[in-house]
Amino acid sequence: MTLSLFDQFMSPWHMGIPLLAISLVAPWILFPTPTSRWLNNRMLTFQSWFIARFTQQTFMPLNVGGHKWALLLASLMVFLITLNMLGLLPYTFTPTTQLSLNLGLAVPLWLATVVIGMRNQPTAALGHLLPEGTPTPLIPVLIIIETISLFIRPVALGVRLTANLTAGHLLIQLVSMAVFVLLPMMPTVALLTAVLLLMLTLLEVAVAMIQAYVFVLLLSLYLQENV
């Protein structure tokens, strides 16, 4: 039973080809290509409006130097939302349930923010490791603690996204299995469980969008500290 529950998180292969690579490339095909002409369909209009609003809300606290990241973070936001939402469809694979993929996204972007901070304002970047007004005996301990918390940031980004999506998929599978088991024995209870499954699915849709937003928002906050 335990193995069958976690089989859905195994990276699938077909004829020696990793389908994870296809699942990472396929989402970009779903979006219409913007043109320099007038917006001529609702999907393109909604896409432009969503990206514009997201960019405005995310980069409002940042100075002009941080606005160079707008294209990268907006693309990452759309990419993560698409992967998370497509993973909720039946017989699909969710790449963002793989910790290796999430760390592969989190570590380079976090490291880029740290490098930018050390290059542009090294004094302020190092000053984050020691809060102002710290008593002298606590200075070595606080420097160690702040250094550890700094290096934990990318791990927390990846683990948060992986854990939330994995837990949601497991809950959906467990409740759906309960519906099929209860249906021949207790139809009324199975119907109530199916309603619970529907509500849980709607919750997972919200989690899929929120977790993608939180991932990018935290990256923007790390960027704000270093620009």
Query: What are the pLDDT tens digits along the chain (227 aa)?
Result: 445 666 666 777 777 777 777 777 777 777 767 666 676 677 778 888 888 888 888 888 777 777 888 888 888 998 899 889 888 888 778 888 888 889 999 999 999 999 988 888 888 878 778 777 778 888 888 888 888 988 999 999 999 999 999 888 889 988 988 898 888 888 898 899 999 999 999 999 999 999 999 999 999 989 888 87
3-state secondary structure of 96: helix
Say what angle helices 187-226 and 139-182 make with each other, to 10 degrees: 160
3-state secondary structure of 18: strand
- What is the amino acid identity at position 94? T
**What's the burial of 27, exposed, middle or buried (CB within 10 Å: 0-12/13-18/19+)?**
middle
> Of 168, 166, 164, 172, which Cα lies nearest the Cα of 215?
164
For 60, which DSSP code?
Answer: S
Tokens 């880029």 sit on residue:
112
**What pLDDT shows up at residue 66?**
79
| pTM (2 d.p.) | 0.83
- Bridge partners of 14? 17
**What's the burial of 84, exposed, middle or buried (CB within 10 Å: 0-12/13-18/19+)?**
buried
Distance, in Å, from the CA atom of 22 to the CA atom of 65, rounded to the nearest integer, reads: 35
